[in-house]
Amino acid sequence: MDERWMGEALREARIARKAGEVPVGAVVVKGGEVIGRGRNAVERSRLATAHAEMLAIEDAARTLGDWRLDGCTIYITVEPCHMCLGALYLSRISRVVFGARQSRSGACGSVDSFHEAELFNHHIDITCGVRAEECLALMREFFGELRLDDKARRDARAG
């Protein structure tokens, strides 16, 4: 089932990519249903806080009419950062499943592992690597295109 729900998160990530955003998507699932969706919207909204996970948590809380997300699982295409993992603890979500690692910002094992310290009065079950190749490919394509765009702009200025 994890693969199926990650497919929904990937769908969100692809929509973000088409809008020129870093392609990250997330869905919150409870009782076999998607109750929250989010995709990265930092550029469009001009908010540093508009990460896919934050928007999915907030969407799910609105669906439930409650900020407590116990019994819910979030599927995220990439490893969450400190802000997002912190928000997931605050929301008391039960489980986090992510695809690709984020080597420069991931707080679930890459640059930090604060979940391992059990700092909070709440435990989150964390699974990584679900459809990781597809999640990573999306990111690589996006950043590869950005570099090509930059090169084209430099060439145009030089020309």
User: What are the catalytic residues?
Assistant: 53
Q: Using the rule CB under 8 A, give the single segment among 7-15, 23-31, 40-48, 129-137 that binds a copy of itself.
A: 40-48
Q: What is the largest CA-CA distance in the chain?
A: 60
Residue choice 91, 100, 102, 138 for contact with a copy of itself (CB under 8 A): 91
How many residues bind to a copy of itself according to rule CB under 8 A? 34
Should residue 82 be labelled a site residue for a copy of itself when binding is judged by CB under 8 A?
Answer: yes
Should residue 87 be labelled a site residue for a copy of itself when binding is judged by CB under 8 A?
Answer: yes
Cα 26–133–34 angle (5° rounding)? 25
- From the list 59, 2, 70, 68, the residue with the least C-alpha distance to 30 is 70
Supply the Cα-derived Rg of the chain in whole angstroms.
16
What sign results for the dihedral spanned by CA atoms 34, 57, 87, 53?
Answer: positive
Between 65 and 159, whose beta carbon lies closer to a copy of itself?
A: 65
Q: Which 120-159 residues touch a copy of itself, going by CB under 8 A? A: 120
Pairing of strands 125-128, 95-100: parallel
Q: What residue ranges bind a copy of itself (CB under 8 A)?
A: 42, 46-49, 54, 57-58, 61-62, 65-69, 81-87, 89-92, 105, 107, 111-112, 114, 117, 119-120
